[in-house]
Amino acid sequence: MNSSDNKIELYNRVNRLKLKAGLSHTDPNAKLRIDPSTIDKADSIIEKKAEAYPVEVKRVLKVLDNNWAKAQSGDRQSVPMLMEKIYHNANQIKDLASTFNYPLMQHFGISLREFVEKIDINKGAHRTIVEAHIDVMWVVLNENVHDEGDERAQKLKSLVQKAINKYS
């Protein structure tokens, strides 16, 4: 074996994602820079989608309600699959709320998602906690409560926390 067989040759490939984000592949000192017009374009798309937020959250809440009703009345073999669907419904609500700046709904989405991971559907107390989450999510949507800080938000958070404290 000669010494040329032991040489390693490196190929620097173009990273297209970095190029889209504004990072030059030829300049090692380049700072990550996103074109302001790209940011403006993304913001306008999100603003247009924000108008559909209530409709989409309502759709997801209806699916969540339906999955919860099935989990309570269905056969026990389907419960794990339905609880996973409920977990994903809560996560989807959390994601929508986070994207469109609805921190209170995000809070309840996270709380329900986390509770679903440890729920025992055979315990009436656990069912009460899930129902409290779903009920307050409907109130938040119908009353259009955005922020976690206002008085109504604090009352709703307190209501759910009391259910969790009492029935966990």
Q: Could you write out the DSSP letters of every residue in 87-148? A: HHHHHHHHHHHHHTT-HHHHHHHHHHHHHHTT--TT-HHHHHHHHHHHHHHHHHHHHT---S
Return mean pLDDT, the chain.
Answer: 85
Q: How many CB atoms lie within 10 A of CB 13?
A: 7
pLDDT at residue 46 greater than cutoff 90? no
Using CA of residue 132, residue 136, residue 138, residue 139, what is the dihedral sign?
positive
* Minimum mean pLDDT range among 15-29, 59-73, 79-93: 15-29
In this prediction the pTM is: 0.73
Which CATH topology does 52-167 take? Four Helix Bundle (Hemerythrin (Met), subunit A) (1.20.120)
Which residue intervals of the chain bear CATH 1.20.120?
A: 52-167
Do residues 126 and 167 make contact, with C-beta atoms less than 8 angstroms apart?
yes
Amino acid symbol at 104? L
